[in-house]
Structure 1
């Protein structure tokens, strides 16, 4: 399975590399109003937009990742508490009268 993943990675890398080599022509990038950058290689524009998209995707996923981390820490603390309770059971020191647990009902 590991080898199949590596083969797929290499194939995707080669396809992206060939696509990048075919798209090196200069393009004009219009930013605001009349401001434009002229003669930027298309592959540079694509790379910058890919990185920006990846960063925005990570920022969008951060709240869910942080929530999952807090839940994992809470569950780990609860598991530790329950394991500690199993290791050190609490034994009552004195006998408890049945009336203190469930009061006797009149007949």
Structure 2
């Protein structure tokens, strides 16, 4: 299985490398307010766009994970408080005789 994963990684690397070699044509990149960069290889523009998307996606995922972690911690504290309150309100547990808890009915 490990060899299969490495073969798959090698195939993907070769495909990406060939794609990069085929997309070296220079392009002009325009920004806001008339600013721009001229004669940038297309693969560089695509790589920068990919990296910006990756960073944005990781940022959104990290914020969602932090929100979930805060909610989990809040719920754990609430559960601990509820368990402490339940332990204080209940008297010491005494063993129950089964017939007292649920009397047997004749069939």
Cα deviation for residue 12 of structure 1 reads 0.8
Normalising by structure 1, we get a TM-score of 0.60
Q: Match of 2:56?
A: 56
Equivalent pairs counted in the alignment come to 83
Root-mean-square deviation over aligned CA pairs: 2.9
Cα deviation for residue 66 of structure 1 reads 2.4
Structure number having the greater helix percentage: 2
**Secondary structure of 1:24's partner?**
coil
Q: Match of 2:7?
A: 7
Change (3 A) 1:73 1:12: farther
Q: Which consecutive segments of 4 or more residues in structure 1 shift more than 4 A? A: 67-78
1:29 paired with 2:29, answer yes
CA displacement, residues 59-101 of structure 1 (integer Å, 9 cap, x when unaligned): 11012322455577789999xxxxxxxxxxxxx6xx8xxxxxx
Distance 1:12 1:44 in 2: 18
Normalising by structure 2, we get a TM-score of 0.60
**Structure 1, unpaired ranges of 5+:** 79-91, 96-107
Q: Match of 1:38?
A: 38
Distance 2:52 2:26 in 1: 20
**Structure 2, unpaired ranges of 5+:** 80-91, 95-107
